[in-house]
């Protein structure tokens, strides 16, 4: 029946890999990540199963850290986008959860299955997919958002999970396998019971951080809406003032013309035209998008930035709430990026096209020379380390909500944000 034991080990190795890949973030595109992972981890799994068949559970259990854990740790560290506490916490968490399942099924098989490996095989056959389903259903999305939203403070959690992993390995395999040391089983079982409780505490703390992040995002959106409303209110007040003063303007102009002062009258008209133009700026036909664009055009102008626009939108019915969110976050990130650059380097360009039910947006701005973002990835939300991470999650969610996509990358010293969304009401 050792064939069931060997199959359960191979099954476990395969699902440790799946569980980890559900949670971590690679710095390579998905296809390249899957190819490299398949080659490396496939070879590693085959070698460990072969070692199990040749040397047995007792020997391989003692050297498993050297034959599997450390090689896989180095490989995934190499291809991971996060090379800090976030990565180590994710790696150790996936390994400890998998090791917990392995130890529990091993004990169940020892006490109730007569070491025939049937209960071990069936237990792992069910528990690993169940844990993965729970990870996809309840954990993956908020955990990914946590990785984006909380760039620091992961070290202590990574240390806790690493110690748990070492504790399970040592207690379970040294000096011999735990089932051969019945007097130590109570302590080992207590550790197995304590571990889920510890993870529940960790995730509760992280979830509070996520709630704080969502609150900050909401406050930022509200602040931008407040700024735009204040700008519109100021504009309306100026319009009312001009209407009130129009009679005086007419009297002055009539007086100049009656006195034959044609040049002075023309100069006066030109001044009036300039003031009227300033009150009726239209960068986009859509009034909602125009309010956002006028607000940020003024903000960029105050920074001395060169803001180039190519907006080709007519009177189409657009989902303005989501589009205003996309533009506000994208332009706010651009403003943040330009603050750290010399005035002569502050350049932003915005292209918007509507075609056959789809709206395409490309926002390009100058960025720091050392910033590198690969297409298909989202930079970490760390204001000190990256000027573009904050708000990109909101942009991505808004784009996905409209059945579209968002892509960002760096190119020739520019940060480029591409968004394509469906504006069809069907």
Q: Is residue 68 part of a domain?
A: yes
The least confident of 39-43, 115-119, 271-275 is: 271-275
Residues in Cβ contact with 98 at an 8 Å cutoff, skipping those fewer than 6 apart:
12, 15, 16, 19, 128
7: pLDDT confidence band, cut at 50, 70 and 90? confident
The tens digit of pLDDT for each residue in 169-226 reads: 888 888 888 888 888 889 999 999 998 898 888 888 877 877 777 777 677 667 766 7
**More confidently predicted of 60 and 19:** 19
- In this model, does residue 426 exceed pLDDT 60? no
Asked if the model's pLDDT at residue 383 lies above 50, the reply is no
User: Given 112, 145, 180, which residue is the final one in a domain?
Assistant: 180
pLDDT band with cut points at 50, 70 and 90 for residue 140: confident
Residues 6+ apart with CB under 8 A from 290: 282, 283, 284
Mean pLDDT for the stretch of residues 373-402: 69
Categorize the per-residue pLDDT at 390 as very low, low, confident or very high, splitting at 50, 70 and 90.
low
Q: Indicate whether 386 pLDDT > 60.
A: no
> Residue 128: is its pLDDT beyond 80?
yes
Domain final residue, candidates 146, 180, 214: 180
At residue 131, the pLDDT reads: 92
Q: Report the chain's mean pLDDT, rounded to a whole number.
A: 82
Tell me, yes or no, whether 230 lies in a domain: no
pLDDT digits (tens, 9 = 90+) for 89-112: 999 889 899 999 999 999 999 888
Q: Tokens 């040749």 belong to which residue?
A: 54
Residue 289 lies in a domain: yes
The answer to whether position 199 is within a domain reads no
Amino acid 275: pLDDT: 59
> Residue 297 belongs to what domain range?
284-426
Q: Phi then psi for 364, rounded to 5 degrees? A: -125, 130
With 0.75 as the threshold, say if the pTM is over it: no
Q: Is residue 376 left, alpha or beta, with left meaning phi > 0 and alpha meaning psi from -120 to 50? A: left
In a domain, 186, yes or no: no
Residue 276 domain-assigned (yes or no): no
DSSP string, 150-179: --S--HHHHHHHHHHHHHHHHHHHSSS-GG
Token pair 């019945």: residue: 182
In a domain, 243, yes or no: no
């Amino acid at each position: 029946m050792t064939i069931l034991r060997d199959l359960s080990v191979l099954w476990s190795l395969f699902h440790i890999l799946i569980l980890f890949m559900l949670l971590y973030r690679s710095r390579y595109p998905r296809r390249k990540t899957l190819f490299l992972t398949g080659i490396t981890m496939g070879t590693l799994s085959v070698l460990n199963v072969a070692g199990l068949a040749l040397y047995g559970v007792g020997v391989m259990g003692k050297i498993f850290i050297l034959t599997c854990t450390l090689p896989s740790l180095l490989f995934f560290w190499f291809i991971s986008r996060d090379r800090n506490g976030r990565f180590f916490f994710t790696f150790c968490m996936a390994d400890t959860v998998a090791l917990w399942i392995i130890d529990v099924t091993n004990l169940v098989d020892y006490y109730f299955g007569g070491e025939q490996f049937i209960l071990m095989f069936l237990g792992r056959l069910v528990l690993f997919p169940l844990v993965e389903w729970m990870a996809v259903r309840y954990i993956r999305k908020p955990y990914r958002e946590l990785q984006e939203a909380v760039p620091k403070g992961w070290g202590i959690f990574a240390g806790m999970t690493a110690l748990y992993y070492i504790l399970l390995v040592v207690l379970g395999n040294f000096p011999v396998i735990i089932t051969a040391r019945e007097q130590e089983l109570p302590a080992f079982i207590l550790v197995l019971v304590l571990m889920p409780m510890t993870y529940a505490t960790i995730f509760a703390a992280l979830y509070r951080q996520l709630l704080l992040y969502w609150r900050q995002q909401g406050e930022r959106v509200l602040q931008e809406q407040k700024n735009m409303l204040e700008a519109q209110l100021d504009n309306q007040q100026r319009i009312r003032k001009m209407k009130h003063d129009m009679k005086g303007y007419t009297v002055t102009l009539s007086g100049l013309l009656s006195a034959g002062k044609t040049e002075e009258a023309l100069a006066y008209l030109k001044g009036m035209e300039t003031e009227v133009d300033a009150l009726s700026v239209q960068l986009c036909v859509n009034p909602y998008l125009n309010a956002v664009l006028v607000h940020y055009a003024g903000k960029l102008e105050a920074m001395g930035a060169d803001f180039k626009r190519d907006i080709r939108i007519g009177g189409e019915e657009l989902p303005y709430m989501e589009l205003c969110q996309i533009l506000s976050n994208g332009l706010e990130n651009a403003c943040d990026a330009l603050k750290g650059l010399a005035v002569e380097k502050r350049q932003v360009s915005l292209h918007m096209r509507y075609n056959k039910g789809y709206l395409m947006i490309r926002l390009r701005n100058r960025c720091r020379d050392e910033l590198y973002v690969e297409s298909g990835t989202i930079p970490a939300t760390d204001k000190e380390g990256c000027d573009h991470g904050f708000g990109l999650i909101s942009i991505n969610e808004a784009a996905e909500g409209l059945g579209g996509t968002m892509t960002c990358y760096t190119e020739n010293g520019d940060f480029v944000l591409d968004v394509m969304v469906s504006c069809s009401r069907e």
